[in-house]
Amino acid sequence: MSTLLSVRNLTMRFGGLTAIDDLSLEVPAGRITGIIGPNGAGKTTLFNCLTGFYKPTSGTLRLAHPHHGEMRLEALASHKVVRDAQVVRTFQNIRLFPKMTVLENLIVAQHNVLQRASRFSIAGLFGLAAYREAEAAALDRAATWLERLGLVDLADHAAGDLPYGIQRRIEIARALCVDPVLLCLDEPAAGLNPRESAELNELLLYLCRERGVAILLIEHDMSVVMNVSDHIGVINYGRKIAEGTPEAVRNDPQVIKAYLGEDEDEAQAGGAAA
Amino acid sequence: MSAVVFAHHRMSPAERVRDAAWVAFVALLLGIPLIGLTTVDAGGRLEVSTRFGMLALFVAIAFGGRIALRATVDHFKARKLARQQARGASEATAASTTRRVSTWLGWFALGASIGLPILFSDNRYVVDTATTVLIYVMLGWGLNVVVGLAGLLDLGYVAFYAVGAYSYAILATEHGWGFWQALPVSGAMAATFGILLGYPILRLRGDYLAIVTLGFGEIIRIILVNWTDFSGGPNGISSIPRPSFFGLEFTRRPAEGEQSFAAFFGLDYSPMQRLIFLYYLILVLALLTHVFVSRLRRLPVGRAWEALREDEIACRAMGMNTTNIKLSAFAIGAMLGGFAGVFFAARQGFISPESFVFTESAIVLAIVVLGGMGSQLGVVLAAALLVLIPEFGRNFAEYRMLLFGAAMVLIMVWKPGGLLSHREPTVRLGQREETPA
């Protein structure tokens, strides 16, 4: 399996705080990679570095883009990460355009394509055929994803008025409209009920197996992350403490320690040994 | 306690009686010392006497009044609930009703604005005021791009109005440019200033943005006051040429070799001809602005403005270049303000920094906010209100501005989202075929 994204020695410091400390990670193409770790471990910081919201203190983020060859994500501004490298993210606390309708949210996601077709609004203002075609294509793509995610009936509702679980789905649909090479999902199952999480599992597997989208998944809901991930990386205090298949990670003593803490005896023994 | 609080469920008659009985009981308790007992002057000393008849009447009134009050409140609550349920059940119909009413209102306003100078062709005051309304409508539509759509709070909008007005005034008086030549150049000039202002404040939002734009507005005005060689300073620029009707001037005695409008059409000269021409000129400019802005709103750039208003971080996460989006909003908004400024200079024939004070910015912003952020028709209604209320208020002399403030507060209480806060989606799934390009 070829590597899509390779994170090498990534470090991110905020003043005295080292949020990510010399982290290296490989994300294979066409697979689901899970990232887990306790709260404050640096998972979202990793996403922010990856998608250009933060500029890493040091380290490299190489993306083997299927069409454009190797790209260095750490050098790109956040909008270019999406526009040029097609690495798209969702947010832990949903960030939709709440007053716009669901359909408009999905159309806005295709801004760059449409803006080019509208020739900086000139062709658009006069309603030229080239722009009309591009808009019809954008609507078709939006409609396809709305249908796949069961959102067609809600297409003309304001996105902010819809229930939380549906907003999560809209955010994923919106990210899919960018036609991602790598989809970074930040806790997509947070706030979902068990049935919705099961639907999410099914969707993630569909995207990965049928559409060939590589997925990087931050998740606390173990029923999601253990069931769908091909590969899991565990982060604690900004360092990678374990990596491997879901089974291997589940039984890793380091991981158990990070999540549950260690027994007092062991801690003392460890302290004495140190 | 529970008996006195307005219950949320529908009350049965027995409950109503019990509720009223409680109130009557409280009234009785209060009424005994207040009404039931009274002191009378009996030959130099006070005596306590009783008024139980009046007390009974008081308690009865409290009882009956409570039942009536309850019934009224319940009635209105039920109606409100029914309205809400109806809205929930058929949100689509409600939206389509709003759309129908808006469309109807829009056509009515268009018809009225075309017919107005015909009806009032000899009333200088009416035509003049209507022209002022239209200038504010145009300014409102321009600022609506920046504030209503892109969500960038701009308190210095008058600066672009001033740039437009002074550009035309200087081009016309010193370089002999005509109105139609100067119009696009002045608009471009204002747009350039929009970008100049926009660039340094890209990272600012909300209050900080408002303060910087406010400062920018003042900087422009103070430059105009002090740079006497360039702008005439506080004396302003006078005898700015008026626009002509395809080369026909609106004067009694046209210059050598020129023809006047009245002579060409074989009419008697009347100063109203120019006023009505100016009125139709700003009407055309405003309508062009309207068509331009409403088309832009349905284009990628317009959706990007709205997305920027909703969530800037999400915009970046969708690959949008927020720098370009902000600058385009500032540039387009400034350009429209500049056009309005050119018209203003041409209409007045005289401009000075006095016309471009902060109050103007505040009024235009009030128009956008009162109209309902982003609503084109709302701007028209709010502009009409904000220009007409002070005009009607002239009868109240010094209370005029008080009335103006009170009206604004009342509108905000009654309609916190603005007069027309309904947002029309730019595209619908159901009508993909008839999507406007």
| Mean pLDDT, residues A96-109 taken together | 93
Q: Is residue B197 part of a domain?
A: yes
Asked if B185 and B175 touch (Cβ cutoff 8 Å), the reply is: no
At A271 the pLDDT is: 47
Residue B308: closest C-alpha in chain A: A97
Q: Is residue B172 part of a domain?
A: yes
At B1 the pLDDT is: 41
Task: State the Cα–Cα distance between residues A241 and A255, nearest whole angstrom.
Answer: 7
Same domain, A196 and A73: yes
Same domain, B269 and B383: yes
- Please state, for a pLDDT cut of 90, what percent of chain B lies above it: 39
CB contact under 8 A, B435 and A135: yes
Model confidence at B73, pLDDT cuts 50, 70, 90, reads confident
Residue B387 clears pLDDT 60, i.e. is over it = yes
| Mean pLDDT, residues B191-216 taken together | 89
Q: Which residue has the tokens 């370089």?
A: B175
Same domain, B57 and B179: no
Contacts of A115 in chain B (CB under 8 A): 300-301, 304
Asked if A9 and A24 touch (Cβ cutoff 8 Å), the reply is: yes
Residue B172 is inside which H or E element, if any? helix B158-175
Among A129, A148, A177, give the residue marking a domain's end. Answer: A177
| Domain total in chain A | 2
What pLDDT digit, counting tens, does each position of B307-319 carry?
Answer: 999 999 999 999 9
Q: Which two tokens stand for residue B400?
A: 């005029």
Same domain, A15 and A140: no
Model confidence at B218, pLDDT cuts 50, 70, 90, reads very high
What's the domain range around A62? 1-86+179-274
CB contact under 8 A, B435 and A115: no
Give the number of C-alpha atoms closer than 13 A to the C-alpha of residue A204, restricted to the C-beta side: 29
Same domain, A106 and A157: yes
Same domain, A228 and A201: yes
What CATH code is carried by the domain that includes residue A50? 3.40.50.300
Q: Which two tokens stand for residue B220?
A: 């422009």
At A110 the pLDDT is: 92
Residue A78: closest C-alpha in chain B: B316
Task: State how far residue B305 is from chain A, nearest Cα, in angstroms.
Answer: 10
- Lowest pLDDT segment from A34-43, A120-129, B328-337, B356-365: A120-129
Residue A270 clears pLDDT 70, i.e. is over it = no
Selection from B279, B246, B250 nearest residue B262 by Cα: B250
Among B71, B88, B105, give the residue marking a domain's end. Answer: B88
Q: Is residue A64 part of a domain?
A: yes
Give one DSSP letter per residue of B128-141, joined into a string.
Answer: HHHHHHHHHHHHHH
| Mean pLDDT, residues B48-53 taken together | 84
- Please state, for a pLDDT cut of 70, what percent of chain B lies above it: 93
Q: Is residue B393 part of a domain?
A: yes
CB contact under 8 A, B425 and A101: yes
Same domain, A193 and A270: yes
Model confidence at B6, pLDDT cuts 50, 70, 90, reads very low
Same domain, B179 and B265: yes
Residue A6 is inside which H or E element, if any? strand A3-14
CA B26 to each of CA A120, B3, B55, B66: distance values in angstroms, whole numbers, following the listed order: 72, 11, 12, 12
Q: Which residue has the tokens 């399996």?
A: A1
What CATH code is carried by the domain that includes residue B169? 1.10.3470
Same domain, A144 and A270: no
Task: State the Cα–Cα distance between residues B160 and B217, nearest whole angstrom.
Answer: 8
Same domain, B291 and B234: yes
| Mean pLDDT, residues B139-157 taken together | 92
**DSSP three-state, residue A91:** coil
Q: Is residue B4 part of a domain?
A: no
At B434 the pLDDT is: 43
Residue A140: closest C-alpha in chain B: B432
Same domain, A19 and A41: yes
At B100 the pLDDT is: 80
Cβ-nearest to A82 among B92, B303, B318 = B318
| Mean pLDDT, residues A202-212 taken together | 91
Same domain, B270 and B192: yes
Model confidence at B87, pLDDT cuts 50, 70, 90, reads low
Same domain, A74 and A209: yes
Task: State how far residue B65 is from chain A, nearest Cα, in angstroms.
Answer: 41
CA B232 to each of CA B225, B337, B354: distance values in angstroms, whole numbers, following the listed order: 8, 22, 12
Q: Is residue A256 part of a domain?
A: yes
Q: Which two tokens stand for residue B17?
A: 């009686």
Same domain, B61 and B206: no
Among B53, B88, B123, give the residue marking a domain's end. Answer: B88
ipTM value for the complex: 0.88
Among A143, A177, A211, give the residue marking a domain's end. Answer: A177
Model confidence at A204, pLDDT cuts 50, 70, 90, reads very high
Selection from A206, A207, A216 nearest residue A26 by Cα: A216
Q: Is residue B2 part of a domain?
A: no
Same domain, A195 and A70: yes
Q: Is residue B427 part of a domain?
A: no
Query: Does any CB of chain A come closer than 8 Å to the CB of residue B88?
Result: no
CB contact under 8 A, B296 and A127: no
Residue B259 clears pLDDT 80, i.e. is over it = no
- Lowest pLDDT segment from A196-200, B120-124, B267-271, B360-364: B267-271
Among B88, B110, B134, give the residue marking a domain's end. Answer: B88
Q: Is residue A52 part of a domain?
A: yes
Q: Could you tell me which residue, A271 or B15, shows the higher pLDDT?
A: B15
What's the domain range around B159? 97-414
At A33 the pLDDT is: 93
Task: State how far residue A206 is from chain B, nearest Cα, in angstroms.
Answer: 22
Q: Is residue A91 part of a domain?
A: no
Selection from B379, B382, B365, B315 nearest residue B146 by Cα: B365
Q: Could you tell me which residue, A221 or B163, shows the higher pLDDT?
A: B163
Contacts of B436 in chain A (CB under 8 A): 127
**Interface probe, candidates A88, A104, A151, A168, chain B, greatest B C-beta count within 10 A:** A104
Same domain, B110 and B169: yes
Contacts of B307 in chain A (CB under 8 A): 97, 100, 108, 111
At B191 the pLDDT is: 96
Residue B318: closest C-alpha in chain A: A109
Selection from B187, B209, B215 nearest residue B289 by Cα: B187
Cβ-nearest to A108 among B303, B423, B437 = B303
Q: Which residue has the tokens 């197996």?
A: A209
Residue A92 clears pLDDT 50, i.e. is over it = yes
- Cα dihedral B193, B140, B362, B315 sign: negative
* Inter-chain contacts counted by CB atoms under 8 A, chains A and B: 129
| Domain total in chain B | 2
Q: Is residue A158 part of a domain?
A: yes
What pLDDT digit, counting tens, does each position of A225-240 carry?
Answer: 888 999 999 999 889 9
Cβ-nearest to A118 among B300, B306, B316 = B300
Same domain, B73 and B212: no
The listed range with the strongest mean pLDDT (A123-127, A189-193, B74-78, B338-342) is: B338-342
Task: State the Cα–Cα distance between residues B353 and B217, nearest whole angstrom.
Answer: 11
Same domain, B82 and B156: no
- Please state, for a pLDDT cut of 70, what percent of chain A lies above it: 95
Task: State how far residue A92 is from chain B, nearest Cα, in angstroms.
Answer: 12
Task: State how far residue A79 is from chain B, nearest Cα, in angstroms.
Answer: 4
Same domain, B44 and B168: no
Q: Is residue B297 part of a domain?
A: yes
Beta partners for B387? none
| Chain B (287-346) residues lying within 8 Å, Cβ to Cβ, of chain A | 292, 295-296, 299-301, 303-304, 306-307, 310-311, 313-322
Give the number of C-alpha atoms closer than 13 A to the C-alpha of residue B407, restricted to the C-beta side: 20
Query: Does any CB of chain A come closer than 8 Å to the CB of residue B436?
Result: yes
CB contact under 8 A, B427 and A139: yes
Model confidence at B4, pLDDT cuts 50, 70, 90, reads very low
**DSSP three-state, residue A23:** strand
Q: Is residue A196 part of a domain?
A: yes
At B137 the pLDDT is: 95
Q: What angle do CA A163, A200, A74 make, to 5 degrees?
A: 95
Same domain, A28 and A138: no
Residue B331: phi, psi to the nearest 5? -65, -45
CB contact under 8 A, A156 and B322: no
Q: Is residue B425 part of a domain?
A: no
Same domain, B135 and B233: yes
At B303 the pLDDT is: 93
Same domain, A172 and A201: no
Q: Is residue A261 part of a domain?
A: yes
Q: Is residue A92 part of a domain?
A: no
Model confidence at A1, pLDDT cuts 50, 70, 90, reads low
- Lowest pLDDT segment from A23-27, A262-266, B224-228: A262-266
Same domain, A18 and A140: no
Among A160, A177, A194, give the residue marking a domain's end. Answer: A177
Same domain, B31 and B173: no
